[in-house]
Structure 1
Amino acid sequence: MTSHSWAAFHTAEPAFADTVRTRFEKYRHHVLATLRKDGSPRVTGLEVIFREGELWLGMMTGSLKARDLQRDPRFALHANPGPDASMDGGDVKISGRAVEVTDEGRLAAFSAAIGHPLPFHLFRAELSDVVRTFVEGEEMVVRSWRPGAGVVTRRRD
């Protein structure tokens, strides 16, 4: 699976990346899917951080979702649908791999920058797929991006 950093995605498709980021920043909590030891899905809440040109996933030390990502870094992230599931701004999903930050100096600097005390797990998102689904007029529009493929737009009545 090919993956890119948020910065590489933003460089390749700045308008689409800005739309996706705006959608995630609209609400504080989102939904993260990881894989359990037995391969079944685990779905949990998560706050995401866009900082230093990257998408970061932070979680409590020893949490099940952190242990899942340490064992198998694949994830899917779904933006909060909003009040009454309005999907204002569209339905946005990101899939990829989570790369854990283990350098103590880097963690301390990140902790100081966001004002959240250590300890916590910190993962940098490497993107393999970004999708936004929304309604435009009478059509459902699905816009997706994959590394090396650019943005593809499909429309359905």
Structure 2
Amino acid sequence: MSTWQEFAEQAPEMAARVRARLESFQHHVLATLRRDGSPRVSGTEVAWRGPDLTFGSMPGSRKAADLLRDARFALHANPGAPEDIMGGVDVKLAGRAVEVTGDEHRAWIEEVKPPSPDSHLFRLELTEVTTTGVSEDQTHLAITRWTPAGGVQTFKRT
């Protein structure tokens, strides 16, 4: 697993495209695992804190409970309107969401001032980042996938 910074150092061009998409919209879709293993999707907002991509959650939320029990997540960046998708990339990230506690959590509470001081902060440890877009010549999908072990790989799908 890698921090956002490690991903950005290994794949700077891809990280720039992914970050631009995430920053283009405030709300994204987070998938977590319920106790029975079925998926749950929730809206979320992401932010960068030092080397990490993070998100907060209200205390007692289902997504926080899911992640505290099983840290695996998938995040789908808001694709925007159809014209945005055709001109940009679809972005998906996966990995583990690790709760931030202690001094770092207290600093976040002071800085961000979430609705409750008991709000959760999660740091995203990345195992996979994928972008999908239409090729410049409009003849195929261009899929770029990064993993910590495999680096950046590009695939064509016609």
- 1:102-131 deviation per Cα after TM superposition (whole angstroms, max 9, x unaligned): 21x221211233343522101100000100
Partner of residue 93, structure 1: 92
Q: CA 1:73 to 1:120, structure 2 compared with 1: closer, same or farther past 3 Å?
A: same
1:18 matched to which residue of 2?
Answer: 16
> What do the CA deviations read for 1:59-88 (whole angstroms, capped 9, x no partner)?
111100000000000000000011357424
**Structure ranking higher in strand proportion:** 1
- Tell me how large the CA RMSD over aligned residues is: 1.4
Please identify, of 11-20 and 38-47, the stretch whose mean Cα deviation from structure 2 is larger: 11-20
Q: What are the Cα deviations for residues 32-79 of structure 1, in whole angstroms up to 9, with x where unaligned?
A: 000000000001100011221210021111100000000000000000
2:156 counterpart of 1:155: yes
For residues 1-157 of structure 1, the aligned pairs below 5 Å read 3-84=1-82, 86-87=84-85, 88-103=87-102, 105-117=103-115, 118-136=117-135, 137=137, 138-157=139-158
1:11-49 CA-partner distances (Å, limit 9, x unpaired): 111111111111111000000000000000001100011
Distance 1:153 1:144 in 2: 6
TM superposition score normalised by structure 1:
0.92
Q: Distance in 1 between matches of 2:127 and 2:21?
A: 18
* Structure 2 unaligned residues grouped into runs of 5+: none
2:17 & 2:3 partners in 1: Cα distance?
Answer: 16
Q: Sequence identity, in percent? A: 48
- Partner Cα separation in structure 1 for residue 49 and residue 16 of structure 2: 13
Partner AA of 1:31 in structure 2: V
Amino acid at match of 1:8: E
CA distance in 2 between counterparts of 1:83 and 1:149 reads 32
Query: How many corresponding residue pairs?
Result: 154
Please identify runs of 4+ aligned residues in structure 1 that moved more than 6 A: none
TM-score (normalizing by structure 2)? 0.91
User: For residues 139 and 15 of structure 1, what CA distance do their matches in structure 2 show?
Assistant: 21
> Amino acid of the residue matched to residue 122 of structure 1?
L
Q: Distance in 2 between matches of 1:85 and 1:116?
A: 34
User: How far apart are the structure 2 equivalents of 1:115 and 1:16?
Assistant: 32
Name the amino acid aligned to 1:146.
T
Q: Residue 11 of structure 1 aligns to a residue in which SS?
A: helix
